[in-house]
Amino acid sequence: MIEALLFGQQGFFQQDICEPYFLRLKAIYLQLKVCFSLSTHPMPLYYFRMRPNNFPTIRLAQLAQ
């Protein structure tokens, strides 16, 4: 749930991807969004001049774990 919340608040679920894990996280986030009346205010994420280990998506997943 925490991972779905972090990725959803960042605005990652606005894309249309048909992977089961993505769809499950998106469904969980939509339930949390309705339950807690959340609104999405994404901050810009930068991938330029970063090594893959430091990508913001990986760091958010590590924070959730």
Distance CA 44, CA 27 (A): 23
In the prediction, which pLDDT does 56 show? 86
In the prediction, which pLDDT does 27 show? 96
Rounded (10°) CA dihedral 35, 38, 44, 50: -30
In the prediction, which pLDDT does 34 show? 95
- pLDDT, tens digit, 9 for 90 and up, residues 2-61: 999 999 999 888 888 999 999 999 999 999 999 999 988 778 877 788 888 888 888 889
In the prediction, which pLDDT does 48 show? 84
| Number of C-beta neighbours around residue 53 at 10 A | 8
Number of domains in the chain: 1
In the prediction, which pLDDT does 49 show? 83
